[in-house]
Amino acid sequence: MRPTDPIPSPGTGGPGRRGFVLATGAAVAVTAGCSLNNPFNSAKTPAAEAADDLAPDVALAVTAVGALAQAQARIALVTKTFPALRPRVAGLTELHAAHLQALRAAVPKTVDPTPAEALPAVPASRTAALEQVAQTEQALHNRLVGLALRAESGPFARLLATMAAGLSQQLVASPLSGSPR
């Protein structure tokens, strides 16, 4: 940073999101000897079973996609029950889509990241339903932070951290607790 520069200008080096996805793709390719890489096997392996056969950061990506998919499914279920809540969670919906887009390519096609457990039923009141979404989002945030801490790749850690920070911004900008508007 130039001493006279009032606003620090950090380096923007590093491979960024695209670089991470390419790097993890390579990591999948070198995970030799497991059924996940068998081109003749089109069956999908559940994420929980696949984790042991994946490179560490790929396993984290699978976990992150699973957590995001669960949050997305929760919102879909709540807005199906209470369509009026759709504008209230529109920002989260867009955010999840963007985050999934950033991670999808890192997940091997033969792995099914969808969580095995069924989602709890939607509560009868809108307030309680929103509270349920808030809890899911908080859990997702905590999961992303935990994964960022565990990531071996620096760029991947950064990606997960920026996703968690984006989620925090969204939850502060559009709080879910309190009476539904």
Partner 1 sequence: MTPLDALQAALAAEHAAVYLTGVLGAQTSKAEQPVLYGSLLRAYRAHRRRRDQLTVLIAGRGGVPVSAAVAYELPAALDTVSDVNDAALQLERRIATTYGQLIENTTGAERRWALVALENSAVVQLEFRGTPEMFPGSSN
Residue 64 corresponds to which tokens in the numbers above?
A: 């992150």
Which of 13, 33, 39, 83 binds partner 1 (CB under 8 A)? It is: 13
Helix (H) or strand (E) holding 91: helix 90-104
Residue 8: DSSP 8-state: -
14 contributes a contact to partner 1 by CB under 8 A = yes
Is 148 a binding residue for partner 1 by CB under 8 A? The answer is yes
- Convert residues 16-45 into a mask of x (bound to partner 1 by CB under 8 A) and - (unbound): xx----------------------------
Element at 111 (helix H, strand E): strand 111-112
By CB under 8 A, tell whether 95 contacts partner 1.
yes
Q: What stretch of H or E contains 74? A: helix 56-81
Exactly one of 74, 99, 126, 143 binds partner 1 (CB under 8 A); which one? 99
Q: How far is the CB of 150 from partner 1 (least distance, A)?
A: 10
- Shortest reach from residue 51's CB to partner 1, in Å: 21
Query: CA nearest 153: which of 9, 8, 25, 5?
Result: 25
